Structure 1
Amino acid sequence: MLRLRFCGCLIALSYSSCFVLLAVAQVTNPSEVDALRAVKSSLIDYRKHLRNWNKGDPCNSSWTGVLCFGSVGTDGYLHIRELQLLSMYLSGTLAPELGKLSQLVILDFMWNDLSGSIPNEIGNITSLKLLLLNGNKLLGSLPDELGYLANLNRLQVDQNHISGPIPKSFVNLRSLRHLHMNNNSLSGQIPSELSEIPTLLHMLLDNNNLSGYLPPEFSNIPGLRIIQLDNNNFMGIEIPATYGNLSRLTKLSLRNCSLQGAIPDFSRIPNLSYLDLSQNYLTGPIPSPTLSDNMATIDLLENHLNGSIPQSFSDLPHLQKLSLGNNLLNGSIPAIWLNVSFSTKARLALDLRNNSISNILGELNPPANVTLRLEGNPICKNASIENTGPFCQSEARDEIPEVSINST
């Protein structure tokens, strides 16, 4: 009995020892280690942030920016979950071997100085949820293969030098919520296929060279909250009336897009708080139905709008900025400031310069936290209206403040 028990103890000890040895022997998948070495060789790391990438095992030695899953995979190896290399002053290029990080969830090279093109092979990482390449100097076109990333939640390639069209393959990004491609040199038509991405929340395409038409099908995206297309060239195109049906929209910015036609009715959008249609060729009157109570910014500066200023602008309790300057508006100014709910630091900036406004409804006596600019209107020459002097000078009392929504 003693011998058997002794043997049993030996056997148990042997199993325990084996378990310890196995635990110590857990290593990163060799193909992923080779991929990381290729990634490092294609980068210029003059601040030596990746100096420990030549020592030990990536997962067991805590390589800078490398995060791994906590347990081994079915192949008996550890796998890399995240590659977080933002703001490390890296230059060089992105290695095609990135596509061998087959279980990667986050790929983050934000705010470096990378050049070259985006490797097609990144489209092989089907597990990828966040692809963050913004704030670099990447060139070339967007690979069609990125459309294979069915689990992708966020695609950020903004603030690069990417050119060419938006791939129609992006219709396959069925989990995408944030599409940030602003501040590049993208050209061509915005694919209407993007409207088939049911999860899309933010679509930022401003500061590119896009043209063609604005897809009316975007109104079919149920949760879309931000559309930002400033500084593109949609010459002769009208804003689709269907955009007034985007029930979740909070920000619509189409500044300097060469748009023409009338302003759609946006009064059915309950959470809209930012509307910028400035520097276009829009015509006709400003729609009179009351906009959302959340409205903070309305910028219609530099168009060809006519008619009077809607009385409904006096029913916006959170309004902070109303820019209607350089249009063809006439009639009277409503006392827009009367129903604004001013907090301690809240201000209201009204820019009505260079129109044909001749009168005011009520007294021209806004509170001190209201900035009003009227120069270039007949009201400034109407001797029967008192107190116009401070508002008709060539320089306003204060600068017109910028009001924006943080869509980071």
Structure 2
Amino acid sequence: MIISRIGALGVVLVVWLCWSSLLTGAEDHITDPVEVKVLRAIRKSLIDPNKNLNNWNRGDPCTSNWTGVLCSNTTLDDKYLHVIELQLLNMNLSGTLSPEIGRLSHLKILDFMWNKISGSIPKEIGNLTSLELLLLNGNRLTGLLPEELGNLLNLDRIQVDENHISGSIPKSFANLSKAKHFHMNNNSISGQIPPELSKLPKLVHFLLDNNNLSGFLPPEFSELPSLLILQTFGVTQVWLARMGLDTISFFLLL
């Protein structure tokens, strides 16, 4: 009888250890609590008439597959999963962009294309030093382009076209040495194109048509090694310097 009880206790102990191990493993694979709070703040600042984000109130963002939230496949040294993509394009969202976005420190893609989001672009986005794609085109954003966006040294593409953005192009954008695509057309951007942007070694597309620009296109732009398409007048201009012609550098921006 005693042996039988010992055996039963042994089975219970083994089962408990296995269950405990499973629980521990599950705890290891959850989203960073800071990022969960950030996502809830983002959700609170948005209006979601189509209820696309209803599942943002249930479970864990990464393990419960919240709409538009993509996470790393494995945990890092901190034992947490991290949000690396936020893809909420074409969901009829309105409201504003929460400054809390700037706390998603592992984010690589921020995509709110083709919604109805208003307000300004939070300067805190400049804290997302891992960001590669900033896609905010086709909304109702207003205000200035934050100087802090010049801190996004890993940025490949910035799309803010089809909004109501005003003010000048920040000189800090000259720091975006990995950027290939600047899509800023169809806004109310004013002033002259900063000559400092001629330092961008990988710039391929520079779209600025249908804005309120003034002055001359800086002659230094003829030295951009990768530039193929420049739009400033409402029409596409193939970069003539690629064919040994630099007269485009002196066109007046109307």
Instruction: Indicate yes or no: 2:179 matched with 1:176.
Output: yes
Percent of paired sites with the same residue: 58
- State TM-score, norm by structure 1: 0.55
Counterpart for residue 32 of structure 2: 29
Aligned length: 239
1:5-30 Cα offsets, whole Å, 9 max, x none, are x9xx9999887655432322221111
Q: 1:54-203 to 2 correspondence within 5 Å?
A: 54-203=57-206
For 1:22 and 1:158, the matched residues in 2 are separated by 46
SS at match of 1:246: helix
Please give the per-residue CA displacement for 1:109-149, whole angstroms capped at 9, x wherever unaligned.
00000000000000000000000000000000000000000
8 Å CA contact retained: 1:183, 1:205:
yes
What's the CA shift for 1:245?
2.7
Q: Of the two structures, which has the highest relative contact order with CA contacts closer than 8 Å and spacing of 6 or more?
A: 2
- Spell out, residue by residue over 1:287-318, the C-alpha distance to the aligned partner (whole angstroms, 9 max, x if none): xxxxxxxxxxxxxxxxxxxxxxxxxxxxxxxx
Deviation at 1:98, TM superposition (A): 0.3
- Find the aligned partners of 1:34 and 1:203 in 2 and give their Cα distance: 36
Q: What TM-score do the two structures reach when normalised by structure 2?
A: 0.87
- Letter of the 1:24 partner, please give it: A
Unaligned runs of 5+ in 1: 1-5, 233-242, 259-408
Unaligned runs of 5+ in 2: 1-6
> Is the 8 Å Cα contact of residues 165 and 186 (structure 1) preserved in structure 2?
yes
Q: Deviations over 1:93-120 (max 9, x none)?
A: 0000000111000000000000000000
Q: Distance in 2 between matches of 1:103 and 1:194?
A: 27
Q: Does 1:222 align with 2:225?
A: yes
* Alpha-carbon distance in 1 for matches of 2:252, 2:224: 24
> Does the CA contact (< 8 Å) of 2:215 and 2:252 recur in 1?
no
* Whole-angstrom distance in 1 between the partners of 2:20 and 2:194: 58
Please tell me whether residue 209 in structure 1 is matched to residue 212 in structure 2. Answer: yes
Q: Deviations over 1:204-262 (max 9, x none)?
A: 00000000111111121111111010149xxxxxxxxxx6433599xx8x99945xxxx
Amino acid at match of 1:218: F
**Structure 2 vs 1, CA of residues 13 and 110 (structure 1 numbering), >3 Å: closer, same or farther?**
same
Report whether the alignment pairs 1:246 with 2:249: no
Q: Tell me, in whole angstroms, the C-alpha distance in 2 between the residues paired with 1:244 and 1:115.
A: 37
Q: Secondary structure at the match of 2:158?
A: strand
Find the aligned partners of 2:85 and 2:78 in 1 and give their Cα distance.
19
- Show the counterpart of 1:235: none
Over the aligned positions, Cα root-mean-square deviation in angstroms equals: 2.7
Task: State which structure, 1 or 2, has the greater radius of gyration over its C-alpha atoms.
Answer: 1
Structure 1 counterpart of 2:4 = none
- Secondary structure of 1:128's aligned partner: coil
